[in-house]
A and B are shown apart, each in its own frame.
Chain A
């Protein structure tokens, strides 16, 4: 693989525009963490297998470890930080907190981002749909029971936009 020269890229992250300089194939994950100082997305595998690094790109949950920054030029990206704060959490975050849906919490970012994207496209998912949507979000602590409860709560507390 020939090394590509660094270039400047403009990304919209959590509502603000940022210009970063990096090699075009640099994973978005590194850019978010190191250039923008964000901690929500976590490095878990670098192979798109575990989901710890998930972010929303144009509202779709994506694995930031395999998103080259060059493909993010001009895109709207939202990280866990962009959803809410402990004082004013997003409904999905609030549901995870209320159901204690984390142990170590390392996978929590991906779980919440996955659920956020799921509810955006399917506001009233069946349990089967929820399980399928989280199929490739790995949790090693075994918090699956609490996470499913949190999703159920998030479904109840998320208002469905009128169509």
Chain B
């Protein structure tokens, strides 16, 4: 272009709601910018719009800057929905470009002294055919400002002259996307930006009812006091948000913040969609009532009444919602991924009580959303948090929040009454549809109570409610109803379920009539283009005509082919037709397991004019893949009160191995007006697949998804059982096991020794009296004893106490063992310290609880005890009061502990065993003394004393975790050897057993301070308690166990298997384990999977392992937020059955999960 730098511009504007709106701008340097209120949701709209502008102006599409969706720069063209961007929203853009061209050519005509018809344009340069002189658009504008009023009446280029539109064109955004050069909204960074997270109420995914905005009881800000960098906790009714300097701290705070909520009211049982939807208040709306439906049905030779059920679906964008807001005192800038910027601006104006023109929404690319960001809740979240702190705040929703709270694709119920006449023709079509949805009010408005959460029925159930067939007697009624859970636009809206019904039913009519289903459709289709599409698609697919299901089978596999056709009608009734689509689906059905493989889909589409045929094909592929996923796999689950689907493990979507072969048939219609292509190819999916399964098996399936369970049950002629809802039983308190007699024994024994003499306070000793070597030795011993693990509170100073230790008898708070004279042990003489360590008696004479393992510490040598004292007294004193321990009777009587000591404490040092090696004796001293392994690893009796003899180190409990047996009683499938024990104690993991987690993890950290020789000695001693074969034999055993588990098929745990395959197998599956730096140790070897108790497996699932000791292992995420007790139980049961097949199934798993989660 002959670009002359210049300040002029040609601008095409039109009148808008809040003032002039710009559609096109060409500046004096020749640059073209085009403005559209719609946004590119990843569909390639940006490229197609650029092609349209480029075509009218004869410039390169890559030279057109497309500005999409920014509220202060683009026209308000409503939400980007219903595939209408090309069909409707592009029309003024094309007109604006054509107007600009006409105006510029008129100028050029004067410059060339030629008629406009003689002029040609190439790459934005105007010339007379055959002439050498060229003038660029920029030069034609120069310094002038040329304003044009947008006109609806302008001559656009005839289709025959199109060179850019209708030609496959590479997407303009993809090079940037493949190289991380595109700034998604997630990537927006603003100076001074803080990070926000929200904490949502327990009524996940609900937006109707008095409890919405009224359920908060209290927020305990102290619960995140230990997390650094917290800037604010913002609470406005049920809106709770956290702002932090760092994103990871905001995330930690989100998980840690304790919030008390009222229990939400129950939901209707959404596992029973028909009942839930017929019970939901609704208003019938008759869309059509022609002929005499009732008479036609009464007169039918055969009547067919059918019911079709569609479940709730997730939009499920791969990137959870994100937004950055910057509140500037009287206005807001919002960086957003919304597909509905102008409506969001109106919502924010209401939320913040500022006029719309003070809000500037800058739209960025976001994850594909299929309707979800029509309701871009996170914009409201970010606005509220930024206003609270007066700085820019980026809010990122978690995956769990995204899944739980997104307004779903609604469940839908379609009921058809009708029949066939004796000649096989349809005899009456009485269609009713129920679709519980609204238009997605912004969640922040509801949570803050700005908008009352009243039922808001919408009218969106009518999309393609009228079938495309010439049913003479037809009535179509849509029951408009408010949502039950948040539900709004999702790709295909109600047209997809309605078409599932229409196209399944017409298939049934054909079968009843004994007519080929494609032939039957062609008889009653009215639209010629539809008929051509149907014929072309059937032919290209190799349609096999049939008059009954063909029931082709090889062994247990049955093969079928099914057809469906649909037109997607969008917008307010009667609406506008987008592209129409037809499918041939080919399936293989395993009649025994119920698994259905979609082998091939042939998708035909009449899109009218295709702006970018490559983009249209891409959209068809995308719709086929996504709709196969929805039909075959997807269904949102609910608890009694909320959405229960919160991750991809519980909501698997189509993956690569499941991808069918897809063939696309695009009808050549370039001379017709363009039709929306964003959704159409999804619409015939469900019926085509259902009809194919019918062709294969002779059984009709009328409810999605077509999971193996449903198909198997259908083939057996039985309905699927309702999901089991085990009533949660109150768990027997452990204390109940304590017999009255035992309690009596304690209190009686206490009479004898109830109090001990206080030992006089001393002035804190001067640490310089000890040598550095002694103090260092004491430091190692403190690590061996892991003093700091119990004596340090969350976020508190080392050894300053205050940590609550949960015991079966109540909470014991660890004391302050820094040398602070008032609150710590600064005033303790060595004598007082030694008495406490050996006898469990505090300096002031009161008894310590045996949560403090003095029964082991008593075995410490004098020299070591003195070194430990020296170290503890050399620490910096920390003043810290410790809460009173709260124990149940009789343990709340400290004096009773005297009785306990009399019964159970055997003080005294260990005599070396001359028959054993020095290492063994050293190991025993470390393990049984300061190491106090038995404190956790020995079982305890009813009074909390360690059991001895054969049960010494035979496995116990610690803080709700199982401390496994360290002896030959170990349940590990591969025995513990000295070498394995050494590696575990040294590095925190063993390739044949797993990684240290729970309370063992900090112990391993402490043991890092010990020399190798001591670790080896401990391993020598502990190894002698096991009778393991040679390491080499164990390695081959381990390999065999792992490979057998990979091949093992487990029946009867389908839900657990599905969760495992989609959530766990990524790291624990055979492929992951075979990779270099495998993220996990085979579950077939894992101690927690083989134990008698499920506790450790459940705890790891709930709590995760944030920093496992094995290098490059990665962390185990916590599933507490994503999974219900039932889901955790399903995974645990499946893991047990698959990876520990020789062990009995765990009983009462769901209760155990509930207990562990609650406790």
Contacts and interface: CB of A to CB of B under 8 A. Distances in A.
A57 B1112 contact: yes
B246 A81 contact: no
Contact of B1114 (A48, A79, A121): A48
Interface stretch (B545-553, B652-660, B823-831, B1130-1138): B652-660
Nearest to A51: B1066
Nearest to A6: B228
B1071 A105 contact: no
A49 B1063 contact: yes
Nearest to B1112: A71
A50 B1114 contact: no
B290 interface: no
B229 to A, nearest CB: 10
A96 B1076 CA distance: 26
Interface string A12-26: 000000000011111
B294 interface: no
Contact of A43 (B178, B183, B320): B320
Contact of A39 (B187, B318, B657): B187
B618 A104 contact: no
The secondary structure that dominates the A interface is loop
Nearest to B795: A3
A37 interface: yes
Interface string B905-947: 0000000000000000000000000000000000000000000
Interface stretch (B36-44, B130-138, B692-700): B36-44
Contact of A103 (B44, B179, B181, B649): B44
B651 to A, nearest CB: 10
Contacts of B654: 142, 144
A71 B1114 contact: yes
A1 B1106 contact: yes
B1114 A142 contact: no
Interface in A52-78: 52, 57-60, 62-63, 65-68, 70-71, 75
A64 to B, nearest CB: 9
Contacts of A63: 1066, 1114
Nearest to B398: A46
Interface stretch (B364-372, B442-450, B709-717): B364-372
Nearest to B619: A103
A11 interface: no
A86 interface: yes
Contacts of A96: 174, 178
A85 interface: yes
Interface in B166-218: 170-171, 173-184, 186-187, 189, 195
| Residue from B41, B370, B1112 having most chain A Cβ neighbours under 10 A | B1112
Contacts of A33: 187, 247
Interface stretch (B325-333, B418-426, B622-630): B622-630
Contacts of A142: 621-626, 629, 654
Given A2-B795, A50-B648, A57-B1112, A80 B180 contact: yes
A125 interface: no
B399 interface: yes
Interface in B654-671: 654-657, 659, 662
Nearest to B189: A37
Given A60-B1075, A106-B367, A34 B317 contact: no
B174 A97 contact: yes
Interface in B204-254: 226-228, 246-249, 251-252
Contacts of A22: 246, 248
A49 B369 CA distance: 18
Interface size range of chain A in the complex: 35 or more
Interface in A85-131: 85-86, 89, 93, 96-97, 100-109, 112, 121, 128, 130-131
Nearest to B47: A100
Contacts of A131: 656-657, 659
B657 A140 contact: no
Given A30-B248, A142-B622, A143-B622, A89 B175 contact: yes
A62 B1114 contact: yes
A38 interface: yes
**How many B residues are at the interface, by size bracket?**
35 or more
Most buried by B among A6, A49, A146: A49
Contacts of A145: 621, 625, 659, 662
Given A47-B399, A106-B184, A141-B42, A67 B795 contact: no
A148 B656 contact: yes
A131 B656 CA distance: 5
A136 B659 contact: no
B1106 A144 contact: no
Interface string B610-650: 00001000100111111001000000000000000001110
A47 B178 contact: no
Nearest to A93: B178
Contact of A89 (B179, B367, B618): B179
A132 B657 contact: yes
B649 A39 contact: no
Contact of A71 (B176, B247, B1113): B1113
Given A2-B794, A58-B1077, A68-B1115, A45 B178 contact: no
Contacts of A47: 399, 647-649, 1063, 1117, 1119, 1122
A85 B792 CA distance: 50
B1107 A70 contact: yes
A104 B365 contact: yes
Contacts of B1002: 2
A20 to B, nearest CB: 11
Contacts of B365: 104-105
A86 B369 CA distance: 26
Nearest to A88: B179
A105 B179 contact: no
A96 B178 CA distance: 7
Task: Tell me which of B179, B624, B626, B1119 has the highest count of chain A C-beta atoms within 10 A of its own C-beta.
Answer: B179
Contact of B319 (A86, A101, A106, A134): A106
Contact of B368 (A112, A133, A141): A141
Contact of B179 (A80, A104, A140): A80
Interface in B789-837: 792, 794-795
B883 interface: no
Contacts of A100: 170-171, 174, 614, 618
B316 interface: yes
B390 to A, nearest CB: 21
Contacts of B247: 30, 33-34
Interface in B280-320: 316-320
B227 A57 contact: no
Given A100-B174, A140-B317, A49 B647 contact: yes
A44 B399 contact: yes
B1077 A89 contact: no
A148 B658 CA distance: 13
A86 B176 contact: yes
Given A131-B657, A140-B653, A45 B1115 contact: no
Contacts of B41: 104
Given A23-B248, A66-B1114, A140-B626, A81 B170 contact: no
Nearest to B181: A86
Given A68-B1115, A131-B659, A52 B319 contact: yes
Nearest to A73: B1111
Contact of B626 (A4, A40, A104, A141): A141
Given A89-B179, A103-B622, A138-B653, 13 more contacts: A22-B246, A42-B184, A45-B648, A47-B648, A48-B1067, A58-B1076, A71-B1111, A81-B179, A104-B319, A140-B626, A142-B621, A143-B618, A143-B621
27 contacts: A2-B795, A4-B1107, A23-B252, A24-B1107, A25-B1106, A44-B318, A47-B1122, A48-B1114, A62-B1112, A66-B1117, A79-B180, A89-B179, A97-B174, A97-B175, A101-B178, A102-B178, A105-B178, A106-B184, A106-B318, A106-B368, A109-B180, A130-B656, A135-B1071, A140-B317, A141-B368, A142-B629, A146-B618
